Amino acid sequence: MAKTATDINAKIEPSMITIATSVTPSDEEKIQNESPQAQTVIIPKCQPATPPEFTAAPRGDEEFQLELQRSQSRSIALLFPEGGLSAWLVVFSGFCLIAATFGLGSCIGLFQSYWESHQLSAYSSRDIGWISSTQVFLTLFLGVQIGPLFDAYGPRWLTLAGSVGCVAYLLMLGECTKYWHFFLCFGVLGGISCAILTTVALSVVSHWFDARRGLATGVAFMGTSLGGIMFPLALNPMLERLSWAWAMRSLSLIVFVFVVFGNLFIKGRLPTGKKGGVISLKCFQDPRFAWATIGIACFEFVLYTAIGLLPTYALEQGFGHRVSFNAIAVFNAGSGLGRYTAGLIADHYGRFNSMALSVIISIFATFALWLPVGNNVALFYVMVSVFGFGSGSVISLAPVCIGDLCKVSEYGQWYGTSYSAVAFATLISIPIAAELQSAAGTTAGAQLPTIGWFQQREIGYPNSFQPEPLECLNKAGKNRSRGRHGCLGYCRAVLLSIMASTTATWQETAAAYRSIIAEKIPKEWRLPASITDSISQTSEQNVLDIPRTCGILTKEELDITENYDAVAMAELLAQGKFTSVAVTTAFCKRAAIAQQLTYCLTETFFDIALERAKFCDDYLAREKKTLGPFHGLPIAVKECFAVEGVRTTLGFISYVERPVEPAHSAVAQILIDRGAVLYVKTNIPQTMMTAESDNNLFGRVLNPHRLLLTAGGSSGGEGALLAMKGSIIGVGTDIGGSVRIPAYVNGTIGFRPTARRFPVAGQASAARPGGWGILTTGGPLTRSVRDVEYFLKNFLGAENDIWSLDETAMYAPWRAVSPTFSEVAGKKLRIGFFTESKKFPLHPSVLRTFKDAISKLEAAGHIVVDMEQHLPSQYLDKAVMTAYYLFSMDPSNYILSHLKASGEPPIPSISNTSLPELKHYQPTVDEAFRINLERRETCNQFKNAWVKEGLDVLIMPVYQGTAIAHDTYGPAFYTLLANLIDYPSVSIPYGNANSELDAPFRRDVTYVPAYVPKDVEGAPSGFQILGRPGRDEELVVSLKIVEDAIRV
């Protein structure tokens, strides 16, 4: 039933009566057409009344009359349509503009991962992250100016300017090639353009809705959800199939469609042309506004921090990387539902009441759901969705609450001013979160959202209340296994892509994981950009001296890392002359430096190492004895060895979803039982079956002698780390030369024991389970020959009972032999040698140093025998072919399934690792029998020649060249023999490439790979020594004798 004028007048204020009586017939008709609700407040026209704010100003000038007319027009506009076609088209325009701005933010992770691997590959994830940070900060901060401009001039021209800017910055983004290009284009122009569109899109809704403003704003905000789904799905295939420039042009076309619709239907209702449009902070004089802004800032500080920690928390809990990305998607889904639902509820029960309820839901999600999550993935998803629902409600209600505190004509200024202050809260939330994470571990991630408070006050407004400040504080606990894992770069990336895609490309996954790894290095250990900017795989730079000159290491730390081998350091630790904490700190810092220069590491766990070192020191002080022969000694291990609480990925993208290791591998357990401190895992090749340590997850290991040269594989990270003196001793594995090759190309020593003497339990492999043929074995990489004997004697000691840790290990504890290692003076050896295969002739550098070593051995009185004449023709060629047949015995190519799981491509070196004769080889059961017979005959021929000549050892090249250019190493031709016949072998450095000295040794042969003197200048050379199977002890003694002879 229609209400009478008397009924209405009894329920409205005098100012509302003035509004009603000021309506002209044309205005009345307009309002009736736009909204049926507006008809209920129309009063038949009476004597016009002057608006109260002008009754005290009896001026008759033209300016006064104009202002009076504008005031009356504004009064008419204050009758909100609350619906109708025009109003909802305005909401639709806001929806489109939000999708083109906040929605596009979901692609920031894609942008950053692409830049990291392409145009900005020389910059760190942290540096690239600041480009996106700038855009988000400006998007929020510039509202302080955009808001007043909107109030003064309306939405039309601002929307047009912002739309042109959004399309333009994407078009120009396709032409960017340098860091400052991206910063100005994406960060600055993108931030300004997004600031205009987001401020206008949210402000204009307030012109058309009052009672239903919560719902309308929530619907407009849902454009973020549409963009968050659509843009990543569109951009992923674009980046894969198109060039960067055309991908950006295509993306700009999609954004163009959105902003066209935004411009077509956007419309304000207040008169324009008002003087002003300048920044004003007078709104802070209203205590309600000040408290509301503080409250919003506090909540968004906590919210963005929590969002940034969610993926890292998922990873550290062992849920896997897909769960970490899905967490953001689930959060987004809950947030979208929360925005819509909160709008409906807020319009009926009060905006601030609903805001408080949303905060309570978020806190409930933290206390009742997040804290007890543990390893429960299902509960984690429930928590994320509930937290998303509550926080999404707050995000959409915050602008509505601000609108309730001001006149509609000032909404743009109040909203923009409020969020310019909020921008600072979101900007500082990430560094603070990272510091708390660094200091307290990832358990703080579950507690951090409860640290903060939300307080809002509203005086005299019917839908407000005055709550007391809500303060929730949880002291961050310390997690032994996951402390100090900084997450700044990754948190920033996640913050800037709140509406993340439901699925991640392998590039995104790799970039995000690398960012996590990079942020684990403490800031004070990070090299300046002046050093890291020049690091690349094409650089000729030698970086061996940078740890000494960079200023990060103290004088004592330089002494610790440079002047002692493992034997000397173990003695000093046992005597208490160095503490384990000091030694571990020194090597952790130097390893961090080495990682920034050569990418030699995968996982770092410096916090665990330092706690272990302190335990060693405390034990020594309390018990007056050591934990064992490795007491307090930092030892690095290859990526494939399981370390409790640390993830093993083998460099595969698909493996990042795997949980952390629940227990130590046999190797790690023995090291710890003997007193060692584990602190890093080292980088490897994809599949661990090439001599180039490169993978899509951790990147390529660079040779510190010359960065453009390979660091070898598959223990390439160990070799580079040892050469950089970031390790005093390391443990790798060898199935075709994987210990000896990295040691050789990096100028260190690498020992391959007889298979099955070294335990393999808990050692991850990319190969198909159940395979047979050539066995892998672990082995040490060391700085000195005596370190080899020290490590093997203590690692393979009878007291370790290796068989109890690995049922495949044979009982063969280290034996005492005569002469002992320290009694080799005067001992003469009968040494066989094998120079080269015509298929892979030695490069001049290797030929020269190998012949020189033979000459020195002869000069020292040792008997040397050329074994080529005592072995069948082409013996080495046939033996290597047999070895590669054994490696090819899996018809399913199981090893490549790890790549298909994530869609990552094979690394370049895989294509030239095998022999071309095996390109189309298809193994059968009959072939397996044949190959095994060939292997047995190969072993028999070698053994017969060895026994006939009465050899003690045999020396031969490790490789036909020195370290060579990346991706050109090819087959491991010279090292495979020892693996095939299972003879212990050790690589020892001797000499360096020198183009002047090498020139006389250059021959008219085809060098494979090509010999390029200028590229390999100064690269280490050397050779390997083979001993009898199971006689590793005698080989170590012979190694000492050979070293004494060649060092003369």
Choice between 633 and 344, residue whose per-residue pLDDT is larger: 633
pLDDT tier, 734 (very low <50, low <70, confident <90, very high otherwise): very high
Beta carbons of 270 and 408 less than 8 angstroms apart:
yes
- Give the pLDDT of residue 117: 66
Structural domain count, the chain: 3
How does strand 1020-1026 pair with strand 985-992? antiparallel
Closest CA to 628 of 670, 593, 578: 670
How many whole angstroms separate alpha carbon 120 and alpha carbon 105? 19
Residues 481-495 have a mean pLDDT of 35
Span 44-87, pLDDT tens digits: 333 333 333 333 334 444 544 444 444 444 444 446 787 888 88
- Give the pLDDT of residue 332: 67
Q: How far, rounded to the nearest angstrom, does the alpha carbon of residue 2 sit from its chain's CA centroid?
A: 65
Domain end call among 513, 537, 572: 513
Q: How many CA atoms lie within 13 Å of 266's alpha carbon, on the beta-carbon side?
A: 32
- Give the pLDDT of residue 369: 62
pLDDT tier, 490 (very low <50, low <70, confident <90, very high otherwise): very low
Long-range contacts of 235-242 (CB under 8 A, 24+ apart): 235/107, 235/110, 236/110, 236/501, 236/505, 239/110, 239/114, 239/505, 239/507, 240/505
- Note whether residue 9 is domain-resident: yes
Tell me which of 107-111, 563-567, 1035-1039 is least confident.
Answer: 107-111
- Domain harbouring 450, CATH code: 1.20.1250.20
Catalytic residue among 638, 681, 725, 1040: 638
Closest CA to 969 of 781, 698, 750, 737: 737
- Note whether residue 823 is domain-resident: no
Tell me which of 115-119, 262-266, 308-312, 326-330 is least confident.
Answer: 308-312
Residues 319-325 have a mean pLDDT of 58
Residues 226-241 have a mean pLDDT of 72
Asked whether the predicted pLDDT for residue 1 surpasses 70, the reply is no
- Give the pLDDT of residue 460: 30
Choice between 873 and 236, residue whose per-residue pLDDT is larger: 873
Where do we find the tokens 């980046």?
A: 239
Asked whether the predicted pLDDT for residue 130 surpasses 70, the reply is yes
pLDDT tier, 207 (very low <50, low <70, confident <90, very high otherwise): confident
- Give the pLDDT of residue 126: 61
Choice between 1027 and 41, residue whose per-residue pLDDT is larger: 1027
Choice between 540 and 798, residue whose per-residue pLDDT is larger: 540
Are 959 and 983 part of one and the same domain? Answer: yes
Buried b (16+ CB within 10 A) or exposed e, 196-206: bbbbbbbbbbb
Are 986 and 858 part of one and the same domain? Answer: yes
The runs of H, that is alpha helices, within 693-818 are 716-723, 740-746, 785-795
Residues 170-196 have a mean pLDDT of 90
- Asked whether the bond before 1009 is cis by omega within 30 degrees of 0, the reply is yes
Distances (CA, A) of 616 to 10, 478, 561, 604, 628: 83, 20, 19, 20, 10
Beta carbons of 106 and 497 less than 8 angstroms apart:
yes
- Give the pLDDT of residue 314: 67
- Give the pLDDT of residue 713: 96
Are 469 and 591 part of one and the same domain? Answer: no
Asked whether the predicted pLDDT for residue 357 surpasses 80, the reply is no
- Give the pLDDT of residue 445: 42
- Note whether residue 494 is domain-resident: yes
Q: How many residues does the chain have?
A: 1048
Closest CA to 544 of 707, 684, 685, 683: 707
Beta carbons of 137 and 423 less than 8 angstroms apart:
yes
Domain end call among 77, 109, 125: 77
Catalytic residue among 358, 497, 738, 888: 738
- Note whether residue 889 is domain-resident: yes
Helix, strand, coil percentages in the chain from 3-state DSSP, rounded to 5: 55, 5, 35
CB atoms within 10 A of CB 1009: 16
- Give the pLDDT of residue 329: 64
Asked whether the predicted pLDDT for residue 829 surpasses 80, the reply is yes
Beta carbons of 1008 and 936 less than 8 angstroms apart:
no
Asked whether the predicted pLDDT for residue 9 surpasses 50, the reply is no
- Give the pLDDT of residue 72: 43
- Domain harbouring 643, CATH code: 3.90.1300.10
Residues 656-682 have a mean pLDDT of 95
How many whole angstroms separate alpha carbon 170 and alpha carbon 384? 32
- Give the pLDDT of residue 227: 74
Asked whether the predicted pLDDT for residue 909 surpasses 50, the reply is yes
Are 480 and 418 part of one and the same domain? Answer: yes
Catalytic residue among 714, 727, 909, 985: 714
DSSP letter string over 19-79?
Answer: HHHT--HHHHHHHHHH-GGGGGG-----S----GGGTT----SHHHHHHHHHHHHHHHHTS
Closest CA to 416 of 617, 571, 277, 287: 277
Which span out of 72-81, 444-453, 490-499 was modeled with the highest average pLDDT?
A: 72-81
- Asked whether the bond before 714 is cis by omega within 30 degrees of 0, the reply is yes
Residues 842-865 have a mean pLDDT of 98
Beta carbons of 626 and 574 less than 8 angstroms apart:
yes
How many whole angstroms separate alpha carbon 936 and alpha carbon 541? 46
- Give the pLDDT of residue 20: 35
Choice between 694 and 396, residue whose per-residue pLDDT is larger: 694
> Average pLDDT of the chain?
81
The runs of H, that is alpha helices, within 799-870 are 844-859
Are 184 and 72 part of one and the same domain? Answer: no
Choice between 318 and 131, residue whose per-residue pLDDT is larger: 131
Are 843 and 887 part of one and the same domain? Answer: yes
- Note whether residue 535 is domain-resident: no
Asked whether the predicted pLDDT for residue 900 surpasses 60, the reply is yes
Domain end call among 452, 487, 513: 513
Is 638 marked active-site? Answer: yes
- Give the pLDDT of residue 1005: 96
- Note whether residue 701 is domain-resident: yes
- Give the pLDDT of residue 305: 61
Asked whether the predicted pLDDT for residue 170 surpasses 50, the reply is yes
Which positions ≥6 away from 954 have C-beta within 8 Å? 831, 832, 833, 834, 867, 946, 1025, 1026
Asked whether the predicted pLDDT for residue 41 surpasses 90, the reply is no
- Give the pLDDT of residue 3: 39
DSSP letter string over 828-842?
Answer: --EEEE---BTTBPP
pLDDT tier, 695 (very low <50, low <70, confident <90, very high otherwise): very high
Residues 602-614 have a mean pLDDT of 96
Are 312 and 459 part of one and the same domain? Answer: yes
Beta carbons of 750 and 1024 less than 8 angstroms apart:
no
pLDDT tier, 702 (very low <50, low <70, confident <90, very high otherwise): very high
- Note whether residue 543 is domain-resident: no
Beta carbons of 423 and 370 less than 8 angstroms apart:
no
Asked whether the predicted pLDDT for residue 467 surpasses 50, the reply is no
Phi, psi of 732 (to 5 degrees): -120, -170
How many whole angstroms separate alpha carbon 966 and alpha carbon 708? 7
**E strand segments, 885-1019:** 953-956, 985-992
Are 204 and 321 part of one and the same domain? Answer: yes
Residues 875-889 have a mean pLDDT of 94
pLDDT tier, 375 (very low <50, low <70, confident <90, very high otherwise): low
How many whole angstroms separate alpha carbon 1048 and alpha carbon 728? 25
Asked whether the predicted pLDDT for residue 273 surpasses 60, the reply is no
pLDDT tier, 505 (very low <50, low <70, confident <90, very high otherwise): confident
Beta carbons of 228 and 332 less than 8 angstroms apart:
yes
Residues 955-968 have a mean pLDDT of 97
pLDDT tier, 109 (very low <50, low <70, confident <90, very high otherwise): low
How many whole angstroms separate alpha carbon 684 and alpha carbon 732? 10
Helix (H) or strand (E) holding 780: strand 777-782
Percentage of the chain beyond pLDDT 70 is 77
Asked whether the predicted pLDDT for residue 411 surpasses 50, the reply is yes
Are 89 and 73 part of one and the same domain? Answer: no
Residue ranges making up the domain that contains 32 = 5-77
- Give the pLDDT of residue 412: 66
How many whole angstroms separate alpha carbon 921 and alpha carbon 919? 6
Where do we find the tokens 């590039």?
A: 507
Residues 1017-1030 have a mean pLDDT of 98
For the purposes of burial, counting CB atoms within 10 Å of the CB of 628, is it exposed (0-12), middle (13-18) or buried (19 or more)? buried
- Note whether residue 440 is domain-resident: yes
- Give the pLDDT of residue 501: 37
Are 55 and 137 part of one and the same domain? Answer: no
Are 67 and 182 part of one and the same domain? Answer: no
Beta carbons of 707 and 540 less than 8 angstroms apart:
yes
Are 890 and 1034 part of one and the same domain? Answer: yes
Tell me which of 445-454, 604-613, 758-767 is least confident.
Answer: 445-454
